[in-house]
Amino acid sequence: MKNQTMSSETGYGMTDYSRKTSWYQIPDVAREVDTIYIYATEYIMGSFEEGSPDYATLDNEEMLQGVAGEYMMHASAFADSTNVFVPYYRQAGLRYAGEIHKKTGDVNAALSGMPYDDITAALDYYFENCNGGRPFIIAGHSQGSSMVLLLLSKYFKDHPEYCKRMVAAYPIGYSVTKEYLAANPHLKFATGETDTGVIVSWNTEGPKNVKDNAVNVVVLPNAISINPLNWKLDETYAP
């Protein structure tokens, strides 16, 4: 593809994020804070087709359509107050991510190669060419949330100069566990609505799942959540 160059180290093409076609959105800067949004698994039905690749290509139509819809449903929540940057990345398909999760109990093995390399390349370009020293939010959903947690534990640990400008990280739709925080002492979980430089995360269940005592594969043991309605870490009811 035109926006990739082959790497002898990884054996696959490295995405060039200086090209606008590598981004769903690079906004005109009109606000004092940025948001970097990492989208959820959108390579879904196609990933189950016979002979389908484990990872979506950047021109995968199912993924591209899904990203556009997800921007409207999720990422646009940040658009009134921040400049929202959304890089494309070669994400793990639902089939492959599920296979890896079933084998290892951890989806990170499906994200730590090509998807992680894409997103870190996007972040390198963003911080070097787009950020301009502004504070930022990093947010994601589902696979995007898993990626946010992986980035916080690795990329931002290696780049404290960036991490200190982080307003908050929103990995929604996956779990932040006590073990994860213990292994990453450079990170803090939110304790209230005025905290900055923290992780804000929660998971929700529909009433039928609660009634049926259904198993939610993204809610891990020792997961921590904060209620975004009352900013409590316990079971205090938010009317």
In a domain, 232, yes or no: no
In a domain, 90, yes or no: yes
DSSP secondary structure code for residue 18 in this structure: T
pLDDT of residue 208: 86
Q: Model confidence over 173-191: pLDDT tens digits?
A: 889 999 999 999 999 999 9
Neighbours of 158 (CB within 10 A): 10
- Classify residue 57 as exposed, middle or buried by CB count within 10 Å of its CB (0-12, 13-18, 19+): middle
Give the total number of structural domains in the chain.
1
Q: Please state, in angstroms and rounded to a whole number, the distance separating the CA atoms of residues 12 and 1.
A: 11
In a domain, 193, yes or no: yes
In a domain, 12, yes or no: yes
Which tokens go with 100?
Answer: 């890896």
- Classify residue 224 as exposed, middle or buried by CB count within 10 Å of its CB (0-12, 13-18, 19+): middle
Residue 55: give the domain boundaries: 4-224
Note the pTM of the prediction, 2 decimals.
0.92
Q: Please state, in angstroms and rounded to a whole number, the distance separating the CA atoms of residues 193 and 27.
A: 27
Cα–Cα distances (Å) from 150 to 59, 112, 116, 140, in that order, read 24, 8, 8, 12
In a domain, 229, yes or no: no
Q: Model confidence over 46-78: pLDDT tens digits?
A: 999 999 999 999 999 999 999 999 999 999 999
In a domain, 238, yes or no: no
Contact 87, 17 (CB under 8 A): yes
In a domain, 8, yes or no: yes
pLDDT of residue 106: 80
Neighbours of 23 (CB within 10 A): 19
Q: Which residues pair with 13 in a beta bridge?
A: 6
In a domain, 234, yes or no: no
pLDDT of residue 7: 45
pLDDT of residue 8: 43
Contact 88, 55 (CB under 8 A): no
pLDDT of residue 104: 87
Which tokens go with 171?
Answer: 């990995």
Spell out, as residue ranges, where the chain has pLDDT lower than 50: 6-8
Domain with residue 193: its CATH number is 3.40.50
